[in-house]
Amino acid sequence: MATLSVPDPVPSPIEDAEKLRKAFQGWGTDEKAVIAVLAHRDAAQRKQIALAYEEKYNENLIKRLESELSGDFERAVYRWIFDPVEREAIMANVALKSKNVDYIVIIEIASVNSPDELLAVKRAYQARYKHSLEEDIASHTTGDFRALLFALVSTYRYNGEEINANLAQSEAKILHETITKGVFNHEEIIRILGTRSKAQLLATFNRYKDEYGSSITKALTSETPNDFALALRTAIRSISNPKKYFAKVLRNAIDKSGTDEDALTRVIVTRAEKDLKVIKEIFQKRANVALEHAIGKEISGDYKNFLLALVGN
Amino acid sequence: MATLSVPDPVPSPIEDAEKLRKAFQGWGTDEKAVIAVLAHRDAAQRKQIALAYEEKYNENLIKRLESELSGDFERAVYRWIFDPVEREAIMANVALKSKNVDYIVIIEIASVNSPDELLAVKRAYQARYKHSLEEDIASHTTGDFRALLFALVSTYRYNGEEINANLAQSEAKILHETITKGVFNHEEIIRILGTRSKAQLLATFNRYKDEYGSSITKALTSETPNDFALALRTAIRSISNPKKYFAKVLRNAIDKSGTDEDALTRVIVTRAEKDLKVIKEIFQKRANVALEHAIGKEISGDYKNFLLALVGN
């Protein structure tokens, strides 16, 4: 369930465009007015507002926002304004072009989306960048990271519910042997995580826990504490239970000495229209504090006001 | 251009179903009547006939054909009766399940189809087998073959015409160095062939020829005569020029001591509704004999009559 709240009745796109234009004019920007409009419109409505704004003022709304706003607030609005598919195509591209490839973002996009949602992101990526996401991943990464990211992103997974219990058993065994016996055969782990259906993977992870007494993510934490193991854990957790995974990302983003604004923004912006309500509940159970409260203590200013508006405060 | 000829006006599906039923009845099958109907109907018409047959006689037409026909003729009809997408899903599955994985068939399907056609084949594969093609490839193959087949099949290639000339130059250089300097870095070759757009790959192959004086496929033949080099050549040639590639497959299927019926059937059945007319012309130029004539000398009986009907004799 979403946390986004949209007023009823919702103003027309033209009225909203006019409000934004007014907020931009004069000395300084009226950020509160920007938040009051944009943080309370869904993806389709935001698109209509951008079209109405462009038509009426002959100016690109997104470019204008970039010049009006700044810092974390600007980055959050720039993520939010796009519809989910376009946004994730942009996020993937930014992640690939950063100095150290931000593989967590790529793994999330590949793992949390359904096969058809991921396909839509790949199509949007191609339309925008004139390349495939796959070729950009393959040419910006190397070794095991390349193999893992490439498999996760390129496979068009089977999305059915049928599972094969024997296969779950045999592949749980392969995973256990390769993780705990120090062999750590990346090729087999990547093959299994990168190609099996999500239902099949859940069966395999459950079997792993039943058979070996602890979860595969725990085994990865204790046996092989390195970046690649972290990437594998991210894939496993975001495939197994995206909402629980995102609640944990939020906790890490806030728990740290120093906030991880990128992660905080990413989860709130990408989930506000989808399932942030449930993620908030999980967060509160684990952190013993409401997400709004934790955010309110952690960040400030327009950035805080914007995120709190999306969180449904 | 297709070689398939359909009578005008075409009989109704019910009439065709009745003709087939009559051909099955009595002692022995009237194969000529089966050919007269099925070899002269397009994919949509064949589907209608199968539906009409099932409805009228409460019997599956394909199963009945399997029990009525035999040998190479049966196999050819069994391939032909399906529409192209379904057929290629079945071919990929048969190729993966054969004792030695028939990787040539997988490479062809992945390379000759457009990205969206390949996606349609992958969807048909999932609907039929409740698995993804990717996971079946990954679990039936190993090593370099796995990496190559997986990349070719899983990538949703960019299908635009834009190319990057600098990239063509740098990747032609990578290909040249890895092929001719004995390093033969499979990872880089697989990355390039498996992820770049077809337009980009053509530019890279052309650049290779301009820069190094001979084609990349020639280099692969002379430097590294093994199965993996053959797989790479198959990918390169079926991406670069499918029609020329298929003409060559036909020549090899017939030239050999002993006919390669699987390859002969495959090319004729899969291309008869598409571009077999052009493939025939290329074949004739290279082999100095008409395809019909070559087939007529090579095979016999109903199998011959069926293929010749598809070739447009």
How much is the ipTM here? 0.91
B214 — contact with chain A (CB < 8 Å)?
Answer: no
B122 CB neighbours in chain A (<8 A) are: 156
Confidence class of residue A227 from pLDDT cuts 50, 70 and 90?
Answer: confident
pLDDT at position B220 is 86
Cβ distance of B158 and A195 shorter than 8 Å: no
Cβ distance of A157 and B132 shorter than 8 Å: yes
Does domain A242-311 correspond to CATH entry 1.10.760.10? no
pLDDT at position A165 is 97
Determine the distance in angstroms separating the CA of A283 from the nearest CA of chain B, rounded to an integer: 35
- Closest-CA residue of B relative to A125 is B158
Distance CA B313, CA B308 (A): 6
Q: What is the CATH number of domain A84-154?
A: 1.10.220.10
- Within this chain, domains B93-154 and B165-240 share the same CATH topology: yes
pLDDT at position A305 is 97
> Which site among A130, A157, A195 would you substitute to test the B interface, given the most B Cβ atoms closer than 10 Å to its Cβ?
A195
What is the DSSP annotation of B186-232?
HHHHHHHHHHS-HHHHHHHHHHHHHHHSS-HHHHHHHH--SHHHHHH
- Using a CB cutoff of 8 Å and minimum separation of 24, what contacts does A55-60 make? A56/A14, A56/A17, A56/A18, A56/A21, A57/A17, A57/A21
Mean pLDDT of chain B: 94
pLDDT at position A184 is 60
Mean pLDDT, rounded, for B84-112: 96
Mean pLDDT, rounded, for B123-138: 97
Segment B18-68, tens digit of pLDDT: 999 999 998 889 999 999 999 999 999 999 999 999 999 999 999 999 999
Per-residue pLDDT for A313 more than 70?
Answer: no
> Which site among B119, B135, B162 would you substitute to test the A interface, given the most A Cβ atoms closer than 10 Å to its Cβ?
B135
Domain spanning B93-154, CATH architecture? Orthogonal Bundle (1.10)
pLDDT at position A256 is 67
Mean pLDDT, rounded, for A106-130: 98
Looking at per-residue pLDDT, the higher value among A182 and B134 belongs to B134
Q: Are B220 and B233 in contact (CB under 8 A)?
A: yes
pLDDT at position B1 is 86
- DSSP-derived letter for residue A10 is P
Per-residue pLDDT for A151 more than 70?
Answer: yes
B119 — contact with chain A (CB < 8 Å)?
Answer: yes
Among the listed ranges A7-11, A283-287, B26-30, B240-244, which one has the minimum average pLDDT value? B26-30
B195 CB neighbours in chain A (<8 A) are: 132, 134-135, 138-139, 150
Residue ranges covered by each domain of chain B: 13-69, 93-154, 165-240, 242-311
From the list B119, B150, B160, which residue is nearest A130 (CB)?
Answer: B160
pLDDT at position B223 is 66
Q: Is B213 annotated as a binding residue?
A: no
pLDDT at position B221 is 83
Per-residue pLDDT for A183 more than 70?
Answer: no
- Of A313, A279, A281, nearest in space to A295 by CA: A313
- Of A83, A64, A36, A78, nearest in space to A305 by CA: A36
Mean pLDDT of chain A: 94
Distance CA A60, CA B264 (A): 57
The answer to whether the predicted template modeling score (pTM) of the entire model surpasses 0.80 is: yes
Q: What is the CATH number of domain A165-240?
A: 1.10.220.10
- Of B106, B128, B134, nearest in space to A192 by CA: B134
Q: Is B194 annotated as a binding residue?
A: no
Mean pLDDT, rounded, for A45-58: 97
Per-residue pLDDT for A181 more than 80?
Answer: no
Determine the distance in angstroms separating the CA of A101 from the nearest CA of chain B, rounded to an integer: 18
B75 — contact with chain A (CB < 8 Å)?
Answer: no
Q: Which CATH number fits domain B13-69: 3.40.50.300, 3.30.910.10, 1.10.220.10, 2.40.50.100?
A: 1.10.220.10
Confidence class of residue A219 from pLDDT cuts 50, 70 and 90?
Answer: confident
pLDDT at position A178 is 87
Q: Which residues contact B232 (CB under 8 A, 6 or more apart)?
A: B148, B189, B193, B220
A203 CB neighbours in chain B (<8 A) are: none
Q: Are B80 and B207 in contact (CB under 8 A)?
A: no
Distance CA B2, CA B17 (A): 24
Distance CA B99, CA A47 (A): 54
Distance CA B272, CA B308 (A): 11
B132 — contact with chain A (CB < 8 Å)?
Answer: yes
